[in-house]
Amino acid sequence: MCLKGIANHSASLSFAASLRRKRDAALVEARRSKSNALMVASMLRADAELSRREYSRLTDQKEPPMEVMLWWLVLAGSEGHRKLTSGFESPMFELYAPRQAL
């Protein structure tokens, strides 16, 4: 092979190596992007599941209405809670705590 052929062959090898490096870098970037997308999707899925559970906890409460709990506090004799509930204007509160009892 003549010197010109060797130089061309060497240039071809370095060009091929350069293309491989670019391709490898592109593959690494694609994998990183895919990994990030999967991570974000997983986080969103977990967040949606948690939101669903929190919502059902709020709607499936197994405790009495707030007005009833306030009335129990009044009956317990706490002066601070009496001040808190005095003037409470809820119709539901009136059912459980008639005005004359306060």
Q: What is the pLDDT along the chain (102 residues), one digit of tens a residue?
A: 565 666 666 777 888 888 889 888 888 888 888 888 888 888 888 887 777 665 544 455 566 666 776 767 767 665 554 455 555 555 555 555 555 544
pLDDT of residue 62: 60
pLDDT at 16: 84
In this structure, the answer to whether residues 48 and 70 fall within a common structural domain is: no
Q: Are 22 and 72 contained in the same domain? A: no
What is the structure's pLDDT at 64?
60
- The confidence score (pLDDT) of residue 63 equals 61
Residues 101 and 71 occupy one common structural domain: yes
Q: Which pLDDT score, from 0 to 100, does residue 33 have?
A: 83
Instruction: Please answer whether residues 9 and 1 qualify as being in contact, where contact means their C-beta atoms are separated by less than 8 angstroms.
Output: yes
Helices (H) and strands (E) in the chain, counts: 4, 0
Of residues 65, 64, 66, 67, the one with CA closest to residue 97 = 67
Q: Which residue range is the domain that position 68 belongs to?
A: 63-102
Burial of 88 (0-12, 13-18, 19+ CB in 10 A): middle
Q: Tokens 């350069």 belong to which residue?
A: 18
pLDDT of residue 39: 83
The answer on 48 and 3 residing in a single domain is yes
Q: How far apart are the first and last CA of the chain?
A: 110
Do 10 and 41 lie in one domain? The reply is yes
- Do 4 and 54 lie in a common domain? yes
pLDDT, residue 84, reads: 53
Residue 71 CB coordination number (10 Å): 23
